[in-house]
C-alpha cells in the first residue's frame, strides 16, 4: 500500500500540471477552470493511471478525485485517437447517484472544451425511455457515465456494447455502491465487460464494500491511501458549536440570518424530510427564501436545485441527510414506507460550489455523517465554517464526534463555542415561537405534496423547452414560497427595537440621513476601520460566519 503526505509537509516540490505529460488542449481547459496546481490526490493518481495501472484511491471529499481520474482518461483517449480507425466507447464511469453522474459529466465537458470534437462524453443516468438514449449511444461516445442500474439496462438492451472496446472502468464513490443497493447490478454488469481492462476505484473510505469491489474489479492495484484527515485542516475549516434546545434552535437561526451574522452561501442540514419542509415554511414567514433538497424530489429537480445554488440564484439550501440513504434499501415488497430514490444522495457526492457555511440544525447521527456534511464546505483551497446546534440530548453524540476529530488532527479545542447571547434577541425569540407553532403537521404534509407535484409538472412539461432555451431555466427558481402557512407581511422586516443595542450603530440604526458630501467620502476609510473595530469588540458580531467569495 502506498501512502503520501502533502508535498508542503515533506518539502518536496509541488508537481505542476504541465509536468504531467498532458496534452496542450487539456492544459488550456485546466487553466480556464482556474486550477492553479494539482491537488495531492491528482498529483499522485494521474501518473499511475497514465501508466495503465489499476488504482484504488482513498481521499477525503473535496480533494479533487473527479479530476484525478477524468484528466488521465481524456489524455488516454486523445493519445489513442492517433491510431484509432473507428469511433468506439473506451471509457465507462459508474457512480451511485444521478446527481454525481451529472457532476462528473460536467467536469468532462469542462475539461474537453478545447477538444470537444475528439472526446465525447454521454451521461445516461437521466430516467428517460431507453429508446431516447439509444441513438446517442449508437454514435459510440468515448466515455459513458451512468449509475450501475442504468448502464446495465442499456447493456441488456444491446444499446451499449463495450465487450471488445472498453479500456477503462471507473467506479466513483465506491463505498456507496453496495449500500445503495447496486451489488447485484455491478456483479451482473461485469459479465458484459472484456476480460482485460484498466480499473479505477475512487472512495472516501476503505470500507468492507470497497474491499469486496476491489476483489471483483481490480487486478494487482496500486493503492493510494493519503495520510490526510477526513476533513479540511483547521486553518481552512472552522468548527463551531452552539448550545440550543429544540425550542430555541429556530429562533437562533432566524436571528442569525436576519442580523446577517451568517454570510455567504449556506447548506442547512436536518435529519428528516419533514424537518426540511418545517424549517422552510418557518423561514418563509420571515421572507427568507430557501430551497429544499431531499430524495423524494425528482432527480431533475434535485440537479436543477444544485445548479441554481452553484450559479448564485439563491444562497440557502435545506437538505435532509437521511440515515436510510446510507443503508441497504428496503425491499419493494414492503408497503407503507414512502418511496425514496436510491440514486439520490445529498451529503455525499454532490459538488456544491463555494459553500461558506454548513449549519447542522439537527446534529448528525454519527461521525461519518458529520464528516460528509461538513465536507460540503472548505473544498479545494476555499475556506469554510461548520456551525452545529447542539441540544442536551445531542451532546453525547457531539462529544464522541469531537473526540474522533481531535484524534485525526491531534489538536485540542478544535470545536469552538459560538458566543451567542439569546437574551439579547428576545424579540426574535417571541416571533420565532409563534411562527414555529404555525407550521403544523398538516401544513408540512401539504407543502411536501405541493412541492413534489410542482416539480413533476415542471420536469415533464418544460424539459424539452429548457433544452432549447437554457437561459430561461433561470426563471424556474427552486426557492419559491410554498404558501401553505399564512404569511404576515410585517414579519419580513426587522424593527429597530428588535435589534440588540450593541448592533444598532453598526447596522446604521438611529443615524440621521444626510446628503452625500466629499468630506463623508474622504472619511470612509476611517469609518470602515471604526466599524471593523466595533465588530471585533462585540462577540455577537466577531463570531459572524462565512466569508464572501
The Cα-based distances of 465 to 74, 127, 182, 365, 462 in angstroms read: 32, 17, 33, 42, 5
Q: What is 476-497 written as a DSSP string?
A: S-TT-----S---GGGGS--GG
Cα–Cα distance between 327 and 349 in angstroms, integer? 16
Of the candidates 46, 43, 49, 17, the one whose C-alpha atom is nearest the C-alpha of residue 31 is 17
> Residue 102 carries which DSSP code?
H
State residue 161's pLDDT score: 94
pLDDT: is 106 or 329 the higher one? 106
* Residue range 227-274, pLDDT digits in tens: 666 778 888 899 999 999 988 999 999 999 998 889 899 999 999 999
Question: Under the phi-then-psi rule, with left for phi > 0, alpha for psi from -120 to 50, and beta for the rest, what region is 210?
Answer: alpha
Comparing 175-189, 350-364, 431-445, 500-514, which segment has the lowest mean pLDDT?
500-514
Average pLDDT rounded to a whole number, residues 334-339: 41
pLDDT per residue over 85-130, tens digit each? Answer: 899 999 999 998 888 899 899 999 999 999 999 999 999 998 889 9
Helices 183-190 & 148-156 angle (0-180, nearest 10): 40
Residue-range domains of the chain with CATH: 7-225 (3.40.50.300), 237-327+340-420+428-485 (3.40.50.300), 498-542 (no CATH)
Give the pTM.
0.62
Cell numbers describing residue 390 = 447542539
Which secondary-structure segment (H or E) carries 124?
A: none
Return d(Cα 43, Cα 217) in angstroms, integer: 24
Q: Do residues 45 and 3 lie in contact, with contact meaning Cβ atoms separated by under 8 Å?
A: no
Winning range, highest mean pLDDT, from 11-20, 225-234, 275-284, 313-322:
275-284
Which residues, other chains included, contact 91 with Cβ-Cβ below 8 Å and sequence gap of 6+? 73, 77, 142, 143, 144, 166, 167, 168, 169, 170
Question: How many helices and strands (H and E) does the chain possess?
Answer: 21, 14
Would residue 483 be called left, alpha or beta, if left means φ above 0 and alpha means ψ between -120 and 50 degrees?
left
Contact residues for 399 (Cβ-Cβ < 8 A; gap 6+)? none
Amino acid at each position: 500500500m502506498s501512502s503520501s503526505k502533502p508535498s508542503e509537509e515533506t518539502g518536496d516540490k509541488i508537481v505542476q500540471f504541465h509536468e504531467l505529460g498532458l496534452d496542450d488542449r487539456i492544459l488550456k481547459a485546466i487553466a480556464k477552470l482556474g486550477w492553479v496546481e494539482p491537488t495531492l490526490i491528482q498529483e499522485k493518481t494521474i501518473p499511475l493511471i497514465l501508466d495503465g495501472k489499476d488504482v484504488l484511491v482513498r481521499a477525503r471529499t473535496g480533494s479533487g478525485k473527479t479530476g484525478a481520474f477524468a484528466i488521465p482518461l481524456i489524455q488516454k483517449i486523445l493519445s489513442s485517437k492517433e491510431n484509432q480507425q473507428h469511433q468506439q466507447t473506451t471509457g465507462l464511469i459508474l457512480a451511485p447517484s444521478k446527481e454525481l453522474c451529472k457532476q462528473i459529466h460536467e467536469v468532462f465537458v469542462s475539461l474537453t472544451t478545447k477538444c470537444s470534437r475528439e472526446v465525447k462524453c454521454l451521461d445516461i443516468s437521466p430516467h428517460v425511455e431507453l429508446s431516447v438514449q439509444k441513438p446517442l449511444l449508437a454514435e459510440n461516445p468515448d466515455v459513458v457515465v451512468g449509475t450501475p442500474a442504468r448502464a446495465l439496462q442499456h447493456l441488456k438492451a444491446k444499446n451499449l456494447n463495450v465487450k471488445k472496446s472498453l479500456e477503462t472502468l471507473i467506479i466513483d464513490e465506491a463505498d456507496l455502491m453496495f449500500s445503495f443497493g447496486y451489488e447485484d447490478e455491478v456483479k451482473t454488469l461485469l459479465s458484459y465487460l472484456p476480460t482485460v481492462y484498466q480499473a479505477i476505484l475512487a472512495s472516501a473510505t476503505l470500507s468492507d464494500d470497497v474491499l469486496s469491489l476491489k476483489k471483483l474489479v481490480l487486478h494487482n492495484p496500486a493503492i493510494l491511501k493519503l495520510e490526510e484527515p477526513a476533513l479540511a485542516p483547521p486553518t481552512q475549516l472552522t468548527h463551531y458549536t452552539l448550545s440550543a434546545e429544540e425550542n430555541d434552535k429556530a429562533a437562533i437561526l432566524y436571528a442569525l440570518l436576519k442580523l446577517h451574522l451568517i454570510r455567504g452561501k449556506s447548506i442547512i442540514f436536518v435529519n428528516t424530510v419533514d424537518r426540511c419542509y418545517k424549517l422552510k415554511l418557518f423561514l418563509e414567514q420571515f421572507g427568507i427564501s430557501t430551497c429544499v433538497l431531499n430524495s423524494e424530489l425528482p432527480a431533475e429537480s434535485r440537479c436543477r436545485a444544485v445548479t441554481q445554488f452553484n450559479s448564485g440564484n439563491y444562497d440557502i439550501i435545506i437538505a435532509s441527510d437521511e440515515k436510510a440513504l446510507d443503508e441497504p434499501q428496503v425491499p419493494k415488497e414492503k408497503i407503507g414506507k414512502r418511496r425514496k430514490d436510491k440514486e439520490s444522495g445529498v451529503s455525499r457526492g454532490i459538488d456544491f460550489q463555494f459553500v461558506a457555511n454548513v449549519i447542522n440544525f439537527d446534529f448528525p447521527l454519527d461521525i461519518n455523517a458529520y464528516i460528509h456534511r461538513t465536507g460540503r464546505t472548505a473544498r479545494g483551497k476555499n475556506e469554510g465554517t461548520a456551525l452545529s446546534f447542539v441540544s442536551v440530548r445531542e451532546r453525547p453524540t457531539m462529544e464522541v464526534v469531537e473526540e474522533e476529530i481531535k484524534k485525526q488532527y491531534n489538536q485540542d479545542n478544535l470545536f469552538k463555542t459560538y458566543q451567542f447571547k439569546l437574551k439579547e434577541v428576545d424579540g426574535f425569540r417571541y416571533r420565532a415561537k409563534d411562527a414555529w407553532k404555525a407550521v403544523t403537521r398538516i401544513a408540512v404534509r401539504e407543502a411536501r405534496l405541493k412541492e413534489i407535484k410542482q416539480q413533476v409538472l415542471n420536469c415533464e412539461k418544460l424539459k424539452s423547452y429548457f433544452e432549447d432555451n437554457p437561459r430561461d431555466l433561470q426563471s424556474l427558481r427552486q426557492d419559491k414560497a410554498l404558501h401553505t402557512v399564512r404569511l404576515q407581511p410585517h414579519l419580513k422586516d426587522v424593527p429597530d427595537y428588535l435589534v440588540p443595542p450593541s448592533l444598532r450603530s453598526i447596522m446604521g440604526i438611529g443615524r440621521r440621513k444626510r446628503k452625500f458630501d466629499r468630506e463623508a467620502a474622504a472619511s470612509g476609510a476611517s469609518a470602515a476601520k471604526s466599524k471593523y473595530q466595533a465588530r471585533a469588540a462585540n462577540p455577537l458580531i466577531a463570531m459572524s460566519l462565512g466569508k464572501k467569495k
